Structure 1
Amino acid sequence: MDDELVVALRKSRENFFARVARGQSPLDGVMSPLTRMLIERFGADGVDMTSAWSFTPTDWICPSCGRTKADIVRLNSKQRLMCRLVEHHDHMKDLVEREFKLACKAQDVVVADERAKRFADRASQMVSAYDNTIVCDDCNGADAMAKSAANTHKNFSYSPQEIRQFVRPRPNQPHEIDGDEARRIWKSQTETFALRLKIVKRIAMIAATDAHWHQEIPRMQRAEEVYKNAESIASYNYAPGAHYELAGDKCRPLSDVFDQWRRVVQPKPGSGPSDKDIEYVAKVTSTKFWSRVPDDWCCVTCKRSKRETVRKSKKDWTFLLSDPDFYDQPSGYPKQRVIACGECGALATNLGKEASLTAGISSDQNYGRYLTISELASIVRPQAYGRHNVDNERVDQLMESLVTRVRMLNGVLD
């Protein structure tokens, strides 16, 4: 490897670790301010940290027990600070794999192949009760304790939401569990779990007898890979978004052309959603976002009410939220996180991206960090039940200072 490249890579790594050590990264680590503070508080002789802990921010909260990292840590028998988060998963995928193996070997001749196994893996997602989730090590252990207390099927596992119902968390201590609650949950899931077991066996048999219907396409022929490859090549050449111009202006998405995304006037929406539409949004199409904020919530930037934020998509009414990191003017760092409506989140991304491209900075996934909340609020021209319009004159006035900020935060000096 070229010596200059080695030096550049080493410098990039040093800068990466330095940002974590200064608390300027969305990641954690043994060198972060939080870890150093906790080591001192507990008088630890070292750190026992999992990768999942370092891959999550310092303000991460366990989705099951609700504890912060500061409340999760404790000393182990070697006086090392345990900073342990793990991936909690449904065992159904493992069961599908085992059943597939058994069904294959039960045939006179094994007729299944790698495609059949991949079909079984893909189908296993259908019978999984929840997505793989990062939880604290204590919550993962509480799952095993609850299964024992409730005498569940060996392949059953509690979801993160169900763990939340029976754990009794305490700061910096292992969990206690409510065995009665664990048994109640298992009883309510028994019939559904039996149905899932039947589906597992059926999937395994379909795959093992090579009766599956999935027809694979070579990876680089898949549409999503074609798009990703073109985007990657453009970014590698420090021209993010330029690949859309290869087929002419008419093929370029507006959001990838420096400022044209905000020159389009969004039409005024028609009538708003009915009460039944709102109920459907709350219970079916946007449950996660709807339940996240109270009924009297309003967007911090556009000031629209919860109901006014509901917007008609191509097929139905939807309610979206966004929680980007905004630039915190007093501290000079992008640490101010708020809950905004989805439209304001998209606006922050598009404006930050325009400033980034104007500054000549390559692709960044956290464009909102270049704006303050007040700056975003000053350019929004909100519409109830619809998309925002933009005060382009105000954006033009802001752009020079935004570009300067982008370059500063990315360490690019004139």
Structure 2
Amino acid sequence: MKPGWPTHTITFEAPDIEAMSDEDLRRAFPYRDGRWSALISEALTIPGVEVVDLNGPWADTPQFWACPCCHRGKKALLRVSKTGVLMAHLHRHHDHLHEYIAHRLQERFGMEWTKGIPEGTYHLEHMGSQMIERFAPTILCQDCNGADAKAKRDLPQIDRYFSFRPDEIRRFITPVPNEKHKVDLEVALAIWLKQAGDFEPRLAFGRTIADLVGAGRLVRTRAPDGASPAYAPGRYALDWLNRDDVAGVRLRADAAALEARSISREGAGRNATTKRVDAPAPSDAELAAYDGGRYPELWAALPPDWRCPGCARDQRSLLRRSQKRRRRWSGFVQRHRQYVWSLPREDDTREPMIIGHDDMVICDSCGVLGAWLKQRRPDVADRPFKLQLSDISSSISASPNALHDVDIDALAEAARRACDRGEEEAAYERFLAYILAPRKTYRYFLDLLGDPGAAWRKTVDRYHDGADGETWAGADERLRGLLRDADEYEPLSDDLRLPDPPR
């Protein structure tokens, strides 16, 4: 439908990324980098190179880019692994001080601290983290970023939240083309000792900000919607382009296709064919003292005979030697939702559907596989999917006290099948949210008022709007039915069970 004002048509041509050959991409984007670029195409001819592992930051920087820390160009940054992988990696080097305030708040309010802090105080963490950090995030080569990590790993005197600036890293490395840097630990230690006096006040300021957040001080209210109607003239063309559904969708798809064709993680996680050495296991005392990692409450609630439903390992065998010098062990368990599907019958022509679910906990090695795959396979990176236990168990080889060996092709195929289940899973989650909402509302008013009768009347008042002629009594019966459905689909433990609403 055309608007009621005069218009004119602007026509332009954009490249069809999906239909273009690698040679077409090289001619259309001569400066951009990717697995198809002239730089990478030439490097892939090196004897012994089989695949390329090229990450997003590498693809997002031009071929003539040079590391601002060691000053090596991209050709001098490429390196071939022992397994024939051409490594093309850049990394976002950031100051770990930026995480200090968030970690302090996490200790007080839990992992989901952003939901637990007093309303109107998040800006203190957001702005304060930028105020205390020593340098802004900077893209560096993997060797400069690794030199920072090595110095801090080998020098336990250095505070865990300290990070070397790029100009400081440059002082304790010896760059060599296509090789890792040689690191001078004595120079690195001298830099830390010199900067320690500046570092401690930053920590103290961070502690003060965290205390202010916890106390609910310096609250800032948000501006009401429409209070800042700023309009940037430079967005004029984009605004009108986005109104054209066909053009906007097409160009966004092309941008995603260009990114997918530029990144290649085929070599990620590719190991040499050597026999895995048995990993050490925690002692009884270490296992008993372990804090549970990221989700301590889930770890503490595990029964003694628990085994991961994905890999069948127990608590002891899922722990791994930590790479952090202040923690001997790492590993945790996390929540997982397993959907229950209807069984097909010969006389039933209906499509299978989800009829229930089981909420359980699985080990982190199983739980991170979806995110791990998205980092390595651009073909599934932008598609939502939820891996199920069969997807996990069919794609891994599990060993005690180590990360899983993963068949990445099998996992990618499982992820594509999981994408096809997404619509039915989303429909089930909407249904589940619908039947659980009244129970959550009833609990809220019960905690607020303390009286089941008053709490239930408030709940019915909240949901009864008289739509379609529904009476208050009708809404009462409808919500009681939803409470029964909620108890069937997601039953509560005895200590969380709610009293039946009085009549």
**TM-score calculated relative to the size of structure 2:** 0.41
Q: Whose radius of gyration is greater, 1 or 2?
A: 2
